[in-house]
Amino acid sequence: MRIVVPSVIVLVGPSGSGKSTWARRHFAASEIVSSDRLRAAVGLDEYDQRASPDAFAVLNDIVRRRIGRKLTTVIDTLGMNAADRATWITLANAAGLPTYAVTFSTEPKVCRARNKQRSRPVPAKALTAQIDKFAETSGELTTEGYAAVIEASDEVRVVNRAMAGAAEARDRQRASPLRLDFGLQLASFNFPGSPQTTAEHLVEIAQAAEEVGFSSLWVMDHFMQIPQVGPEWWDMPEAYTTLAYLAAATRRIKLGTLVTGVGYRNPALLGKMIATLDVLSGGRAIAGLGAGWFERETVGYGYGVPTTKERLDRLEDMLQMLPLLWGPGAPSFEGKTFSVPEAMCYPRPLQDHIPILVGGGGEKRTLRLVAQYADAANFFGDADAVRHKIAVLHEHCAAVGRDPADIAITHLAPALMATDQSDLEARVAAIKPNNVSAAVFGATVNAGAIDDHIGRFHTLGEAGVETAIVSLVGVPAASDVWRLAPIVDAFS
């Protein structure tokens, strides 16, 4: 059974049933809000029943504030007050967090034996009343609106929301395997000893990706590091110089940018660069194009800040001009944003048609441009988001008379891989920002064990993704690429 975090977890069971022990085993101390601990905080000690009204007032205030900040909150009380449970569920629903009830059906004799071992045992009559109340409460829980009512056990696993349903999807992949290609995106270049060691690390990673079975290798085309990855003073090699270098170090893997902002280079020169990459790589270039978005670098490098319409007009011009540049002769091109008197490119690309991928999911115009001109579309988000974008793309295809089967669907997302739960927790703790919870960070970077990722990629394949492009979180190494081998193999 899986509990998806961040969420609200209500523990329900009599004294001595093991609630606090179970909570400490599965959750951080900071995530547990305990009535006993708060009774000690506002009274003489955790057994000071006269402090209970104040303790529960504080508890409910803490719960409300934690839920308001969308933090995982484990409520460690007896859990048998229906009004309190209703309040917690209402708060969680308003915050968009799932709520779980975890029940502790421990044998009454075990509860009594544990109670007797306490330095201050609960009175026998009070414990009997709790046990009787628990039997009554268990029947109420199924109608109160929880995401799930779970019997406590060590088989329960806590996962971030990106991995919800991953176990079931993994089983579907094993029962009925989907074919899925994989790409690797390199986004962080602050390798140990860089920049002196950058070339060495890049070759090791690229060759590992090829050996593992990745079909494509991508770099971001930015002039400074983007804020989603790191500060602007982090290393960011020029994209096409990097791809040309990696072309010499590899033999089979396809090479492209994800993606090039069309305003960053002279249009015809960009086409020439991509054609040269195709020649030097033996016909392995992919043209990844987008309208561009990172205002900080356009200003910093003196490109100005074009409007959204101007950027999309330029993207459409590029999509029309590049096939002319790569084709026979030297035709002229006159677009909305630029003109090319002679669209001439020698040497010609080795591929008869260099595939063009467009990044961006703008539904009114970007996806229409994909339907009109592109060979592939790159999407983000979960499986439902991908299904929606594909549906919009198909509408545009119908409008322009294009077979949607001619357009490949790729998907880019970060990923943090781990061998098991303890390895995962250690990796998340090592790199997450101090002001972000492990659950939220884990969901943001798709943190999970290998089996979790097999399930996640299966759901993307079911949604229509044909190539899953993985951007490894943190500074990658060849060993991180090899860690992905079981996932690539599962979809080969």
- pLDDT tier, 386 (very low <50, low <70, confident <90, very high otherwise): very high
Residue of higher predicted confidence among 480 and 164: 480
Report the 3 state secondary structure along the chain.
Answer: CEEEECCEEEEECCCCCCHHHHHHHHCCHHHEEEHHHHHHHHCCCCCCHHHHHHHHHHHHHHHHHHHHCCCCEEEECCCCCHHHHHHHHHHHHHHCCCEEEEECCCCHHHHHHHHHHCCCCCCHHHHHHHHHHHHHHHHHHCCCCCCEEEECCCCCEEEEHHHCCHHHHHHHHHHCCCCCEEEEEECCCCCCCCCCCHHHHHHHHHHHHHHHCCCEEEEEECCCCCCCCCCCCCCCCCHHHHHHHHHHHCCCCEEEEEEEECCCCCHHHHHHHHHHHHHHCCCCEEEEEECCCCHHHHHHCCCCCCCHHHHHHHHHHHHHHHHHHHCCCCCCEECCCCEECCCCCCCCCCCCCCCEEEECCCCCCHHHHHHHHCCEEEECCCHHHHHHHHHHHHHHHHHHCCCHHHCEEEEEEEEEEECCHHHHHHHHHHHCCCCCCHHHHHHHCCEEEHHHHHHHHHHHHHHCCCEEEEEECCCCCHHHHHHCHHHHHHCC
Average pLDDT over residues 240-255: 98
306-327 tens-digit pLDDT: 999 999 999 999 999 999 999 9
Please, which residues bridge with residue 468 across strands? 182, 411
Average pLDDT over residues 31-35: 95
pLDDT reported for residue 419? 85
- pLDDT tier, 467 (very low <50, low <70, confident <90, very high otherwise): very high
Average pLDDT over residues 16-25: 94
190-223 tens-digit pLDDT: 999 999 999 999 999 999 999 999 999 999 999 9
Average pLDDT over residues 158-177: 90
State whether the Cα torsion 385-386-390-393 is positive or negative.
positive
Has residue 384 got a pLDDT over 80?
Answer: yes
Crossing angle of the two packed helices 239-249 and 267-280, in degrees rounded to 10: 10
Has residue 150 got a pLDDT over 80?
Answer: yes
Sheet holding 148-151, edge to edge: 32-34, 73-76, 8-12, 99-103, 148-151
Q: Kindly state the tokens that stand for 415.
A: 């990923």
- pLDDT tier, 368 (very low <50, low <70, confident <90, very high otherwise): very high
Share of the chain above pLDDT 90, in %: 85
Q: What CATH homologous superfamily does 167-490 map to?
A: Luciferase-like domain (3.20.20.30)
Q: Domain 2-155 adopts which CATH fold?
A: Rossmann fold (3.40.50)
Going from N- to C-terminal start, the domains of the chain cover 2-155, 167-490
pLDDT reported for residue 309? 95
- Picking from 42-51, 78-87, 188-197, 427-436, which range would have the lowest pLDDT averaged per residue? 427-436
Residue 116: CB atoms within 10 Å: 12
294-306 tens-digit pLDDT: 999 999 999 888 9
373-383 tens-digit pLDDT: 999 999 999 99
Average pLDDT over residues 335-341: 96
pLDDT reported for residue 270? 97
- pLDDT tier, 439 (very low <50, low <70, confident <90, very high otherwise): confident
Average pLDDT over residues 211-240: 95
pLDDT reported for residue 433? 85
443-462 tens-digit pLDDT: 889 999 999 999 999 999 99
pLDDT reported for residue 443? 85
pLDDT reported for residue 431? 87
Has residue 161 got a pLDDT over 90?
Answer: no
